[in-house]
Amino acid sequence: MPRVLLLLFAAAAGAGPLRYAEDRAPAVVNPLFATTMSEARIDELLFEGLFADDLELRSVGRLAERIELAPDLKSATVRLRRDVVWHDGEPFDSEDVVFSIEAYKDRSTASSEAGRVSWISRATAVDPHTVLLEFEEPEYAPQDKLHFKILPAHRFSSRSVKRADPFRTQPIGTGPFRLVSFNDDNTISLQRHDRHWSPAALPEVAMREVSDKNYQAKLLIYESLEALVRVLPRDLATLQNDRKVELYPYQTNSWWHFGFNQRNRTLADARVREAIALMIDVDELLAPIGTGDRVSGPFVPSSPFYNHDVAPLRHDPDRAAEILTEAGYSFVSGRWLGPDGKELKLRLVTLSNLETAQDVVINVQSQLMSRGITVEQTFLGIAEYRDKVWRNHEFDLLLSQWSFDRSEDIWEQFHSRGNFSGYADPAVDKLLDEARASTDPQQKKALLRQTHAEIAQDHPMVFLWTLDSYAALSTRVQKVVVHPFYFFTWASDWTLGQ
Amino acid sequence: MIPSLARAVAWKAGAFLATLLGATAFVLLLLVLAPGDPVDLLPNGAELRPQLEAEWGLDRPLPARYLHYVQRVATLDLGTSLAYRPGRAVVDVITSPALRSLGRVLAALALALTWGTALAWWTAERRTPLRPVVQALSIVPVFLMAHALVLGLNAATFAAIGTGWIDRPDWFALPDQPSALRTVLSIVILATASGALHETHAQLEEALVHIRRAPYIDAARARGAPVWRHVARNLVPPLAVTLAERAAFLAGSVVIVEKVLLLNGAGAVLWEAALLRDYDVALGIALYAAAFVGVIRLVADGIRVAVDPRLREAG
């Protein structure tokens, strides 16, 4: 159906806003400072990049019409759309692109997203609709990295943008929706950007903060919401049986793990790490919290970088006992004692808001205790977690989940100069450096698959699973396709009936 | 008379100021002692730490930070939110929620005093099973009563809707919506739980017994004058004392009640600000709460002085 007819239909129906829930409302609506998924999701509705994913996750032009790569791959000319206007009616042009890249790069901006443009050495406005981008290294597919959001140059006096800039609650983008109000009760109301080059079918979107996740499914069932970004595993059956709700499975680039603190002398020994990994029955941990795929390394199985030749570690407590014995440990009165005679004890730390983590922690504690290892568990709030775990390394084992966007850059998690857990393997460092520098997609794929294999041998973590994720939407919402990371990338096509 | 009144006023003003300073210093100390700070919340916090610590004043010694805060507050500048609503003036962030919480606390105070007085009037000098009932009801901690009530009510209503017994009733707001029901629940919980009702009742009952046995009541009876006027007038000072004592308790309890009942108020904001280590927001709410308690105490003292001529004479 032509888009105009869809718009007319939606307007005639008076369907109201599409209301979706977040556990915590975005604090800052400015892509330069997006630090949470709720911020990334709302940015997806308000802002656009030069390129974005199509349904096959290939990069297609959004603000860019096309890109022409120089023969030496060291620069590219980006031709911009001419029919784009900002939410305040100002025309979009090449100065906005140049400004955005400079603002991301500016050290005094202190953008959490600076890494997204670090590969661009210079951006020049050739004319109002053409930008020349020069790269640090040759780039084979720069469009895959040109997804970062573009900001309006005319709303800032300097490229050094502050996190506290009033823009954070009065953002102006080119996206399919514009912000109408950022309310005191932590709700955010958006309206369709009618002058968008391809207007959305939905007239309004509303973000509602529902801090208690236990109630989000109830709100959907009782029609106080139209969309849940992620359904808790225990709510799946209820929602599946509700005729007014449709579940949409989607694959996220997220995987769970138990990370070892290798600054701890005991855990610096790879044999001890492997033994602990073999003692953990991962399938038994997964069963109560949902369904998903086991992972054997730092990528999800659907990733091009996942090495399918590396199998997930099998639960083998007998082998674990052999390895610990070889490492000088002895099993005395039901407890493992180290070569120094001290009992093998682990402090397990988890973020308190990691959903369903409590079940996993209690079960792993029980598993390891039954095998002779005492586990003391602690749940921490985010600031405390970052301070204790990231900064001061006060943990032995942590349960955590890493989520990645399409770049799946694991450098910070595994490079000896990047990770906080003390993991250092020169071979992995070399592979990661080469993969990061590589601009050839095939070469990068081969390097990262090799990295996967190397890391799996070192056991810096117990790689657990990637959970099956489900979004739940009211059946009134039609034409729904959700993006695995940003969720709303294709929300322009969604419609909402009565 | 005048010098002693001036001394009393100065003493009260000093106590009020000390309450403000003490509350803010205590909250700042707690937050600083807790691990983590707002820089830790940023994914690239380690890299940005020197820059942001200088920008946000976190690199100064604690006494200097507190002194700077006091100087700012003296010019009515409560600072800027760092993490909860970055860049927004703290006054704008906390004033509306604080007014909502104030409404709940004042209503709870009024309710506690009203039914404390009514119960005391009924039970004073009587053997009645009501007393242990009040005690038992009131012994439940605030957090437990709030959890039990909200979970029980929601479960019962969801079950009734699920089985088709009822449609969703108008009074039953879902958890993300403003709800008169949850507001009423919060007021009842604040006025009842953690010993609130029992203590109010016991204090007023004791005062009532004392007043009813007083010689001036016997004299009034002998004259055939209405006794209740004398009782009511003499009950005001103990009511004022109870009011002052309950205010501090309610200001603290409202944090828990708002969090459990998902009510938008200063308590809920303080909870988030503390989690996010947003110092100025947390200190701003502590300052408002201390000011509220201080003002209630001054009002209570004023009432007692106005009603009781002996206190006026004592200065």
**Can you tell me the ipTM of this complex?**
0.71
Q: Which of A163, A184, A185 sits opposite B86 (nearest CB)?
A: A163
Using the beta-carbon criterion (under 8 Å), do A164 and B80 form an inter-chain contact?
yes
Q: Which residues of A touch B86 (CB under 8 A)?
A: 27-28, 33, 163-164, 168
pLDDT digits (tens, 9 = 90+) for A196-227: 999 999 999 999 988 777 788 988 988 889 99
Compute the C-alpha angle A299/A303/A308, nearest 5°. 75
A245-250 and A465-467: which strand pairing? unpaired
Q: Which residues of B touch A417 (CB under 8 A)?
A: none
Q: Which residues of A touch B277 (CB under 8 A)?
A: 383
Q: Which residues of A touch B264 (CB under 8 A)?
A: 184-186
Q: Residues with Cβ < 8 Å from A96, sequence gap 6 or more?
A: A150, A151, A152, A153, A154
pLDDT reported for residue A5: 46
Q: Which residues of A touch B97 (CB under 8 A)?
A: 184
Which of residues 317 through 336 in chain A touch B, CB cutoff 8 A? none
Using the beta-carbon criterion (under 8 Å), do A112 and B44 form an inter-chain contact?
yes
pLDDT digits (tens, 9 = 90+) for A404-438: 877 788 998 999 988 889 999 999 999 999 998 88
Do residues B135 and B141 make contact, with C-beta atoms less than 8 angstroms apart? no
Using the beta-carbon criterion (under 8 Å), do B44 and A210 form an inter-chain contact?
no
Do residues A458 and A267 make contact, with C-beta atoms less than 8 angstroms apart? no
Residue type, A257: H
Q: Which of B86, B96, B161 sits opposite A164 (nearest CB)?
A: B86
Distance (Å, rounded) from C-alpha B242 to C-alpha B113?
A: 8
> Is the CB of residue A424 less than 8 Å away from at least one CB of chain B?
no
pLDDT reported for residue A297: 95
A59-61 and A51-53: which strand pairing? antiparallel
Tell me which range, A293-297, A301-305, A352-356, B261-265, is most confidently predicted by mean pLDDT.
A293-297
pLDDT digits (tens, 9 = 90+) for B5-14: 778 788 888 9
Q: Which residues of B touch A209 (CB under 8 A)?
A: 176
Torsion sign over Cα B183, B189, B192, B194: negative
Instruction: Give the residue-averaged pLDDT of A361-366.
Output: 94
Instruction: Give the residue-averaged pLDDT of A290-301.
Output: 92
Q: How far is A281 from chain B (nearest CA, A)?
A: 32
Which of residues 121 through 160 in chain B touch A, CB cutoff 8 A? 158
- Tell me the CB-side half-sphere exposure of residue B285, using CA atoms within 13 A: 29
pLDDT reported for residue B104: 93
Residue of A nearest to B273 (CA): A383
> Is the CB of residue B84 less than 8 Å away from at least one CB of chain A?
yes
CB environment A281-308: b (16+ within 10 A), e (fewer): bbeebbeebbebbbbbbbbbbebebbbe
Using the beta-carbon criterion (under 8 Å), do A383 and B264 form an inter-chain contact?
no
Distance (Å, rounded) from C-alpha A68 to C-alpha B35?
A: 50
A227-228 and A18-22: which strand pairing? parallel
Q: Which residues of A touch B175 (CB under 8 A)?
A: 210, 212, 215, 218-219
Which of residues 30 through 89 in chain A touch B, CB cutoff 8 A? 33, 35
Residue A483 has pLDDT above 60, yes or no: yes
Distance (Å, rounded) from C-alpha A387 to C-alpha A393?
A: 8
Q: Which residues of A touch B156 (CB under 8 A)?
A: none
> Is the CB of residue A210 less than 8 Å away from at least one CB of chain B?
yes
What six digits make up the tokens of A422? 């003390």
Distance (Å, rounded) from C-alpha A488 to C-alpha A229?
A: 10
Helix, strand or coil for residue A277?
helix
Res. A12 pLDDT band, cuts 50 70 90: very low
Q: Which residues of A touch B87 (CB under 8 A)?
A: 162-166, 168
pLDDT reported for residue A15: 66
Q: How far is B154 from chain A (nearest CA, A)?
A: 10
Distance (Å, rounded) from C-alpha A125 to C-alpha A121?
A: 14
Using the beta-carbon criterion (under 8 Å), do A390 and B36 form an inter-chain contact?
no
Using the beta-carbon criterion (under 8 Å), do B275 and A27 form an inter-chain contact?
no
Interface contacts (A, B; CB < 8 Å): 97
Q: Which residues of B touch A218 (CB under 8 A)?
A: 158, 174-175
pLDDT digits (tens, 9 = 90+) for A64-79: 999 999 999 999 999 9
Helix, strand or coil for residue A487?
strand
> Is the CB of residue A393 less than 8 Å away from at least one CB of chain B?
no
Using the beta-carbon criterion (under 8 Å), do B36 and A385 form an inter-chain contact?
yes
Q: Which of B42, B84, B85 sits opposite A35 (nearest CB)?
A: B42
Q: Which of B36, B87, B96 sits opposite A384 (nearest CB)?
A: B36
Residue of B nearest to A108 (CA): B51
pLDDT reported for residue A196: 96
Instruction: Give the residue-averaged pLDDT of A76-96.
Output: 97
Q: Residues with Cβ < 8 Å from A421, sequence gap 6 or more?
A: A259, A260, A261, A262, A263, A393, A460
Using the beta-carbon criterion (under 8 Å), do A168 and B176 form an inter-chain contact?
no
Cα–Cα nearest to B196, from B280, B118, B77, B112: B112
CB environment A125-144: b (16+ within 10 A), e (fewer): beeebbbbbebeebbeebbb
What six digits make up the tokens of A249? 């499975």
Cα–Cα nearest to B239, from B101, B120, B103: B120
Using the beta-carbon criterion (under 8 Å), do B43 and A35 form an inter-chain contact?
yes
pLDDT digits (tens, 9 = 90+) for A225-277: 999 998 988 888 889 999 999 999 887 788 999 999 999 999 999 999 999 99
Question: Could you report how far apart the first and last alpha carbons of chain A are, in Å?
Answer: 18
Q: Which residues of A touch B160 (CB under 8 A)?
A: none
Q: Which residues of B touch A384 (CB under 8 A)?
A: 34-36
Q: pLDDT tens track of chain B, all 315 residues?
A: 556 777 878 888 898 899 999 999 999 999 999 888 888 888 777 778 888 888 888 999 999 999 999 999 999 999 999 888 888 899 999 999 999 999 999 999 999 889 888 998 888 888 888 888 888 888 888 889 988 988 888 888 888 887 888 877 777 777 667 788 889 999 999 998 878 888 888 888 888 888 888 888 888 888 887 777 788 888 888 888 888 888 888 888 998 998 888 888 999 899 989 988 999 999 999 999 999 999 998 888 888 888 777 766 655
> Is the CB of residue B86 less than 8 Å away from at least one CB of chain A?
yes
Q: Using alpha carbons, list the distances in angstroms from residue A195 to A83, A88, A92, A191, B308.
A: 9, 10, 12, 12, 72
What six digits make up the tokens of B12? 């009260």
> Is the CB of residue B174 less than 8 Å away from at least one CB of chain A?
yes
Using the beta-carbon criterion (under 8 Å), do A114 and B44 form an inter-chain contact?
yes
Q: Which of B48, B87, B275 sits opposite A166 (nearest CB)?
A: B87
Phi, psi of A152 (to 5 degrees): -80, 115
pLDDT reported for residue B313: 61
Using the beta-carbon criterion (under 8 Å), do B35 and A21 form an inter-chain contact?
no
> Is the CB of residue B30 less than 8 Å away from at least one CB of chain A?
no
CB atoms inside a 10 Å sphere around CB B99: 12
Helix, strand or coil for residue A455?
helix
> Is the CB of residue B163 less than 8 Å away from at least one CB of chain A?
no
Token pair 């000896």 is at which residue?
A416
Instruction: Give the residue-averaged pLDDT of A118-128.
Output: 95
pLDDT reported for residue B311: 67
Among B32, B37, B40, most A C-beta atoms within 10 A, so best to mutate, is B40
> Is the CB of residue B195 less than 8 Å away from at least one CB of chain A?
no
Using the beta-carbon criterion (under 8 Å), do B176 and A35 form an inter-chain contact?
no
Q: How far is A219 from chain B (nearest CA, A)?
A: 7
Residue of A nearest to B176 (CA): A210
Residue of A nearest to B87 (CA): A164
pLDDT reported for residue B2: 56
pLDDT reported for residue A284: 95
